[in-house]
Homo-oligomer: A and B are copies of this chain.
Amino acid sequence: MDELDRTIHEPARLRILTVLSGVDEADFNFLLNTLGLTKGNLSSHIDRLEKAGYVNVVKSFNGRIPHTDFSITEAGAEALEKYWEELDAIRGMKGMRDE
């Protein structure tokens, strides 16, 4: 039986990755407001996702003001899709019978 990807299974990281999967990129404040996490929590979860290769940090400038955005990587998108497929498979276990 496949094991669920524990990097993604953590609810906060699942939320972060799911939000990022629907946008080109998002900045820290958008994620903070959307997810209702503390700054420290959000930082550490993004860090973990980045280390897993699931999230890219995109640095840019608005004029002279530095701006940081986050985007989901291809590996992240694939892992997330696989995760939801596995959850759907678990959900389908409701139909198993002992015969």
If over half of A's interface residues share one DSSP class (helix, strand or loop), that class is named, otherwise mixed; here it is helix
- Contact: B36 with A1, CB < 8 Å? yes
**This chain: how many copies in the complex?**
2
Chain A 71-99 near chain B by CB (<8 Å), digits 1 or 0: 00000000000001001001101111110
Task: From the candidates B22, B84, B94, name the one contacting A22 in the complex (CB within 8 A).
Answer: B94
Whether B23 lies near A93 (C-beta < 8 A) is no
Confirm or deny: A43 has a beta carbon within 8 angstroms of a beta carbon on chain B.
no
Among A22, A23, A93, the one with the most B-chain Cβ atoms within 10 Å of its Cβ is: A93
Partner of A18 from B22, B30, B84, B93 at Cβ < 8 Å = B93
Q: Say yes or no: is A57 at the interface (Cβ < 8 Å to chain B).
A: no
Cβ of A11 and Cβ of B3 under 8 Å apart? yes
Cβ contact within 8 Å between B18 and A90? yes
In the complex, per-residue mask of A15-54: 1 if CB is within 8 Å of any chain B CB, else 0 = 1001101110011001000111000000000000000000
